[in-house]
Amino acid sequence: MMKKFAQSGLLLLILSATALAQDASPLSDRGAGAFSSFAGTRSAGMGNAGLALIGDGYLNRLNPATWIGLQNVQMTATYDFAGVTSVDKSLNSTSYGANGNFGGGIFAIPLDESLGLSVAGGFTPMTSYSYGINSTDSVAGVSGSSYVFDRKGSGGLGEAFLGGSFSPITGIGIGASFQYAFGRMQSISNVTFDSTSFQSAYTDNSLYLRGASGTVGLVLGGFDKWIHLSFLKGLTIAGYYRYPFNLSGANQINSIYPDGLDTTFSQNASGYIPAEYGIGIAKVFDNGLAAMLDVRTERLSQYYDSFTPAGTLKNVLFIGGGVEYLQGRSIRSLFAKRVLRAGLYYSKTQFVVPTTSGQPAQVDELFATAGIELPLSYTATLDVGVQYGFRGLESDLLFHERVFRLYVSFTMGEAWFIRPRLD
């Protein structure tokens, strides 16, 4: 059984290398795409919060310190879907884009439960570069002649990681992980003329980037044992810091023309992803209820790559919170138990769009979230998280979006190295 489980974990990590975030927004054509705030399906149902949430069965990709609560070897696979309705008032157009993808996987092993010693590795999406633009226009100065311009983007950056956690003192957890980001942002442009007097063209512009970084995390709990106040029981506070990525790679442009005069151009490329950090607080009550709140930020105004100068994107501010409730705690039957989740989050995004006044403005967004966890066995669960929200809340913005996201994760576990505790 252990051998089959390990083989399944290896296969999961191999398949995960194809996973990319899918938000299908025209705004993602800037830089490396739209950066994901996803920390796990459990977190997705609670307003993308959970930096300070410790517990078996929860693998938070943002804060490795929370892994101190793992009790079983665990493997998690995620599927994600996003549907985006975009309204561009400047063009008087409405478009819809949808994408579904294998959303990554994580494999974690607790080595010593009493020390909170765990290791985990996997692959998760980092950015989504997914959009489609189509327009028809007349050729300037040529009566009766027009052309169709079609531009599509695909790809993004993914993030492989390997890290561990350790609890040197009861109530204190520390964690660290190594991350390696890599991916391809592909933009395909196709210009087709209705007149033979002009030559149509097809261009594939691909930017390949890769680079390494690291994350350190901290979680503090057990305050009631230090201060002896009952309301501090179940309270945890946490934080993390992810160091910047210095990226390198290549830019390759392939142009294809009907007359056969195809061209290929390649050059070195570079980029920079600024640091990300955040803090969170969580409270677990005796009645099966838990509540949490996270604040995170990333100075994406410092982001740049070979085609995106610094200052193109805006600094991101994220505030999210949620609750979860274990239903059926007093029922003996495992399959009568379930976990219900709900939350909200608000974010100042990286994007900038024009306004009715002609001045560009930063786009904000507001999402409502919900989720449910169902037991499949004593060590396996099915988690579902849904999010629905609005991007571009200010009325004077010329661009607005409605976004629906669905996350489905399957987690299975097995006891390998855990020693029984001695009374």
147-171 pLDDT, tens per residue?
777 888 888 999 999 999 999 998 8
Residue 106 lies in a domain: yes
Residue 291 lies in a domain: yes
CATH number at residue 381: 2.40.160.60
Beta bridge mates, 35: 127
Q: Which of 418, 423, 414, 403 is nearest to 85 (CA)?
A: 403
Residue 107 lies in a domain: yes
The Cα–Cα gap between 141 and 415 comes to: 74
Percent of residues, the chain, with pLDDT higher than 70 = 86
pLDDT in tens, 290-316: 999 999 999 999 999 988 999 999 999
Judge if pTM exceeds 0.75.
yes
CB neighbours (10 Å) of residue 57? 20
The Cα–Cα gap between 184 and 124 comes to: 15
CB neighbours (10 Å) of residue 370? 18
Q: DSSP letters of 252-282? A: EEEEE-TTS--EEEEEEEEEEE--EEEEEEE
Asked if 191 and 148 touch (Cβ cutoff 8 Å), the reply is yes
In terms of Cβ atoms closer than 10 Å to its own Cβ (0-12, 13-18, 19+), residue 309 is exposed
Residue 68 lies in a domain: yes
Top-confidence residue, 26 or 285: 285
Residue 172 lies in a domain: yes
Residue with tokens 């996270």: 294
- Lowest mean pLDDT of 6-15, 17-26, 161-170, 191-200, name the range: 6-15
pLDDT in tens, 71-91: 888 899 999 999 999 888 877
The Cα–Cα gap between 323 and 285 comes to: 11
Top-confidence residue, 175 or 333: 175
Residue 420 lies in a domain: no
Residue 164 lies in a domain: yes
The amino acid that residue 386 corresponds to is: V
Owning domain of residue 185: 2-414
Structural domains counted in the chain: 1
pLDDT in tens, 122-147: 998 899 888 877 766 666 656 667 77
- Within 113-200, strands assigned E span 117-125, 127-128, 131-138, 146-169, 172-193
With 90 as the cut, is the pLDDT of residue 67 above it?
Answer: yes
Residue 422 lies in a domain: no
